[in-house]
A and B are shown apart, each in its own frame.
Chain A
Amino acid sequence: MAAKSYKRLLSLAAFVMPAFILYTLFLLVPTIGGMYYSFTDWNGLNRAYEFIGFANFVEALREDPDFVHSLWFTLKYVMFMLVLQNVFALLLALFIETKFRSKGLFRTVLFMPNMISTIISAFMWTFVFSQVLPQLGERAGLGFLNQSWLGDPGTSFYSILIVSLWNGVGYMMIIYLAALQGVPQSLREAAVIDGARPWQVLRHVTLPMITHAITICLFLTLNGAFKVFEVVYGLTGGGPGRSTQVITLNIYEEAFSNNFRYGYASAKSVILFLVILIFTFIQISITKRREVEA
């Protein structure tokens, strides 16, 4: 008996090992290395560096207004994304669910933007924002289109949001679609027979039944939105000035331009890691509680 369970364990390990080794080598080790460097003043080049304890963390949160600004800006972005991305994705999924004939077509078309790499879609939209929309506004006399989509600090936030949503909604929609298809038809029919209106069916039958999908989508959005980089990098580069700088861009700038403070940049990354960790923990513990099973 003991030999058998040992064998089972061995085969389990054999299956996990290849992935685990790669994971350790390319993710775990660098992560731990980064955490170690966050306590040093290494500049990425010097052979000698010093261990400076929590000084980097204190500096980032207390004496670095740019970092704090980028933190707040990212939080604002996350909040907008969390609500908008999921609402749009759910609405689209519900809309597609009601179709019978052109389901496949709509699904494909709406998912399409997600297949384009984020940075490329950012460059595409740069062209749209800086050339197409202003021209369109001029020719068609739609004044509101002809504005500084990327040059104005206030407007560029919404430009970033538009591109992120365009790119990300499709993916969430697929998850919601899958979940919606898993809701037993019998439950809905029972509710309708009991006299429930469509809104009530949605609110009291469908939504509770797809909470597990909501959990996943919220998690993915939260995680992705905190780590947003390509869209902002491609559209505004954090500019004008630092007005649309997100945390990742701030870290990138600290490590690879400016003063090449790798240690300090690592400390900022660790802060970002902790922030994401806390937020996702809270989110998961809240939404997990609401999940029900049919």
Chain B
Amino acid sequence: MMKKKGSVLVGLVLSLALLAGCGSNAQTGTNDGSAAGGEKATSATLKMFIAQPRFKEQYDAHIEKFKAKVKAEKNIDLTVQVEMPNQDNAAQILKTRLASNDAPDLFVIHAINDIPQYSKAGYLADLSDQPFAGKLLDSVKPAVTNSEGQVVAVPLESLSWGYLYNKQIFEENGLTPPATLSEMEAVIAKLNEQNITPFILSYKEAWVPQLFLPLTVGAAIQTEDGMKDFVERMNEDKGSFSEMKSMFDIIDLVNSNGTDRALEVGPDDGAAAFAQGKAAMWLQGPWYADTILKSNPDIDFGVAALPVSENPDASLINLSVSSSMAMYADTKNKELSLEFLNFLLDDQESNVLYEALKFNPIATVHTFKSYPWVDDATAYVQEGKSYQDPRIPQAVKDEVGKALQSYVAGQMDQDAVLKALDKAWKDYNKVNK
């Protein structure tokens, strides 16, 4: 009997200890403000949320430098808590934190997809008057600007993309990236003659066929007079995707000249197939460079702009910003947070950080050298042959991926796809009034 009582007691004590542990954790989590200056060293805690665990080392190194800087300049012992969840559920975790008043001071979100929503909910601080805002490249700045014209984030990762092509195959056959649809047809004919499949098709995951939409819509907005305000008109329920019907020219061309079993091939398999030279081109961005090189380190590939019409000026590179760091609007550590954001684009240290992260240059202070495929795309950008990734709502992007899958499977025709897109955008408007 005594023994039993004893074990119950032990159990109780243990569970209490557990509870206490939780409690004390919550205690240390609270911030103690940003008391700057003073003779004696003060302490402060910054909480960051960066959903890129694969870059932990690089970020940690930069944070260490920042800590040293703060210590030297302001005599503050800074503690930085960095939370790096997996990208897949990062959005859920961040939303939970924001909703439960446990917001990190700084957090990384997707510039194109997330800024409108988060900004509207009032979670993003206005950073327009910060020194870093003046350093951003003109082509990058719109991506981190909200609908009220405020700069709300520091861009980290940016992407310049069109499609990937195997330089070796192109060279062996005396081909160069085509600038118009008919040139593309000629390239395809030449490749078919040589028994080389022109395109890898990997549509198992809906976001891959989805890539057609930003490319075609972005090019149309940039080059066709009637389309300039397409996104705005769609946002006001006044446009329709029937204006964009010509996008099927290139979609059909790619789909009818690609590898088999498109709907069963995932992007990773696609990357492997592309790396092994099973086809000459792949509609995919350079974010798969790592995977491709892992499969075949010797492959020589480049990025080119996808032709969408007979207008050579419409073959443009899509320039988009993905992860960007924003500041929580009600943060208690405003000064230090702002300082860190500016430190991301510090005149000297920024080059080290962005080069280590292998991100593209996004600010005037960036002078480092990047990969060949990045240089390919940068060449387009410098010639002005690029456009800002159009702000198509995520819901519409999801829809187009699914609709184009159905289109490939023969369940939907062109009009049905366009109608589904119109409906998705209308629903988006209705929900986000």
Contact = CB atoms under 8 A, between A and B. Distances in A.
Interface of A: 41, 43-47, 129-130, 134, 148-153, 237-243, 253, 256-261
Interface string B374-417: 00000000000000000001110011001101111101100000
Interface stretch (B174-182, B258-266, B299-307, B319-327): B258-266
Shortest Cβ-Cβ A-B pairs, 3 listed? A241-B406, A151-B263, A240-B409
A94 to B, nearest CB: 37
B406 A240 contact: yes
B355 to A, nearest CB: 33
Given A43-B431, A44-B95, A237-B205, 9 more contacts: A43-B117, A45-B123, A149-B264, A150-B204, A152-B263, A153-B411, A240-B405, A258-B399, A259-B395
B92 interface: yes
Contacts of B428: 259
B263 A239 contact: yes
A130 B259 CA distance: 14
Interface string B110-139: 000000011011110000000000000000
A280 B316 CA distance: 57
A39 to B, nearest CB: 16
Contacts of A43: 117, 431
A238 B398 CA distance: 13
Contacts of A261: 431
A102 B262 CA distance: 45
B405 A258 contact: no
Nearest to B96: A44
B431 A240 contact: no
A261 B398 CA distance: 14
Nearest to B393: A259
B57 interface: no
Give the interface centre of B92, B263, B265, B428 by most chain A CB atoms within 10 Å: B263
B203 to A, nearest CB: 8
Given A241-B409, A243-B406, A243-B409, A259 B432 contact: yes
A91 to B, nearest CB: 32
Give the interface centre of A44, A237, A242, A258 by most chain B CB atoms within 10 Å: A258
Interface string B190-232: 0000000000000111100000000000000000000000000
Interface in B28-42: none
Contacts of A129: 264
A256 B92 contact: yes
Main secondary structure of the interface of B (DSSP, over half): helix
Contacts, number: 87
Nearest to A257: B398
B411 A237 contact: no
A130 B399 CA distance: 25
Main secondary structure of the interface of A (DSSP, over half): loop
B404 to A, nearest CB: 8
A259 B204 contact: no
Interface string B249-264: 0000000000001111
Contacts of A44: 95, 99
Given A45-B117, A237-B205, A259-B427, A151 B402 contact: no
A241 B411 contact: yes
Nearest to A243: B411
Contact of B408 (A134, A240, A258, A260): A240
Contacts of B393: 259
A242 B416 CA distance: 14
B98 interface: yes
Contacts of B395: 257-259
Contacts of B405: 239-241
Contacts of B95: 44-45
Given A241-B403, A243-B411, A150 B398 contact: no
B408 to A, nearest CB: 7
Contacts of A151: 204, 261-264, 409
Contacts of A256: 91-92
A99 B395 CA distance: 56
Nearest to A48: B121
A45 B409 contact: no
A244 B394 CA distance: 22
A242 B406 contact: yes
Contact of B206 (A41, A46, A237): A237
B264 A47 contact: no
Given A152-B409, A259-B432, A239 B206 contact: yes
Give the interface centre of A46, A134, A256, A259 by most chain B CB atoms within 10 Å: A259
Given A237-B206, A241-B411, A259 B431 contact: yes
B36 to A, nearest CB: 30
Nearest to A261: B431
Contacts of A242: 402, 406
B265 A130 contact: yes
B265 to A, nearest CB: 7
